[in-house]
Amino acid sequence: MNQPIVQSLQGVTLAGGGPFSARDLKFALSRAPVPVAADGGADRLLRAGVMPEAVIGDFDSLTEAARQAIPKARQHPMPEQATTDFDKALRSVSAPFVLALGFAGARLDHGLAVFNTLIRRAGQRCIVLGPSDLAFAAPAELELRLRPRDTVSLFPMAQVRGQSTGLEWPIEGLDFAPDGMIGTSNRVTAPLVRLVFDGPGMLVILPRRRLDAAIRALTQP
């Protein structure tokens, strides 16, 4: 990767152009206090009274008002159309983790593209926040401190096998694939859930109230 545009020792809140509330933004910034925008997400940040540290994207949805309000040094246009604004922004950030707001639920094709980027940029440790749940790309090994009866969904974006402890329905021996076996709506049976995968490609989906557990799991040494 080229020199990142944003380098932070703290978590980054990445705002997209999709809908999110002021409460959602406060929730994210309390954990990831560095605000960055992907294209039109800058307008949403400004409306919430937050100045982005950087705006990254092709700028096809950034309003003229936002261009005038944000210092030029913080604007980083990338006109190429081969990748999404989410991809452009995520690959341009170096931080312990990224919380992505405004990327889930607006359009189905956009949502699928976001999940594609999560898998391809798994090393960025990005968590996408939706209205009621969250999603991230699973590392090879993952330990999550959850509560019994919490829902854990596993959705494969590639062929992958794994092992688990702490789930009601163990995943050993299952051949996961996007056009085959999936693992949605599993349930937690123990305070510690351990997952091991034989390769990349698995999305983990948790209730949003377990965000802190997801952050700890992705950032622990």
pLDDT at position 81, please?
83
Over its C-alpha atoms, the chain yields an Rg (Å, rounded) of 17
Residue 57: Cβ within 10 Å count: 28
**Residue 1 confidence (pLDDT) above 60:** no
Domains of the chain listed by start with CATH number: 6-131 (3.40.50.10240), 141-219 (2.60.120.320)
Element (H, E) at 117: helix 108-120
Classify 105 as helix, strand or coil: coil
**From CA 20, how far away is CA 219, in angstroms rounded?**
25
CB of 219 closer than 8 Å to CB of 97: yes
Provide the pLDDT confidence category of residue 109 given band limits of 50, 70 and 90: confident
220 has which bridge partners? none
Q: Strand pairing of 126-129 and 98-101?
A: parallel
Q: What percent of the chain has pLDDT over 70?
A: 99
Sorting pLDDT into bands at 50, 70 and 90, what band is 221? confident
| The pLDDT of residue 176 | 98
Count of CB atoms situated within 10 Å of the CB of 48: 16
- Arithmetic mean of pLDDT, 25-54: 97
What's the rounded mean pLDDT across residues 88-100?
97
Sheet with strand 151-156: strands edge to edge: 75-77, 54-57, 34-38, 12-15, 98-101, 126-129, 133-137, 202-207, 151-156, 183-187
Q: What is the pTM of this model?
A: 0.95
Q: Out of 30-39, 78-87, 163-172, pick the least confident.
A: 78-87
Going through 23-104 in order, the beta strands assigned E by DSSP cover 34-38, 54-57, 75-77, 93-94, 98-101
Q: Structure tokens of 50?
A: 């937050």
Average pLDDT over every residue of 106-119: 88
For the cut 60, the answer to whether the pLDDT of residue 106 exceeds it is yes
For the segment 146-167, what is each residue's pLDDT rounded down to a tens digit? 999 999 999 999 999 999 999 9
